[in-house]
Amino acid sequence: DQQVKQNSPSLSVQEGRISILNCDYTNSMFDYFLWYKKYPAEGPTFLISISSIKDKNEDGRFTVFLNKSAKHLSLHIVPSQPGDSAVYFCAAGRPGNNNDMRFGAGTRLTVKP
């Protein structure tokens, strides 16, 4: 049972445009959400997070939006750069409990120059 779903396996955008990566979750107990970025031959690295008490968190070009009623979060990258080309994993869990962390299958983002 996949509790965290990233329904788009891949996304291609033009440099300078906005990239929007989506993530849906089913477990209403999740209240902390993270995005990780993974380059080929490397491990995932933390990108940005959001707790359920917020609906938006921004860090430079990256913004995560959370819609709790829809159990949906999205990652916006503006403007997109070729160096952003990577696989992005959405993760959901509860603070203080890594054991319940669930990851989505990932979305491969390609930013074309």
- Altogether, the residues listed in the chain come to a count of 113
Task: Give yes or no for residue 14 binding other proteins (CB under 8 A).
Answer: no
Task: Give yes or no for residue 107 binding other proteins (CB under 8 A).
Answer: no
Look-up of token digits 């913004």: 63
Task: Give yes or no for residue 101 binding other proteins (CB under 8 A).
Answer: yes
Beta carbons of 10 and 85 less than 8 angstroms apart? no
Encoded amino acid at 1, one letter: D
Distance of closest approach, residue 103 Cβ to other proteins, in angstroms = 4
Cα 92 from Cα 3, distance rounded (Å)? 9
Task: Give yes or no for residue 53 binding other proteins (CB under 8 A).
Answer: no
Point out which residues bind other proteins (CB under 8 A): 2, 4, 6, 9, 32, 34, 36, 41-46, 49, 51, 89, 91, 93, 95-99, 101-106
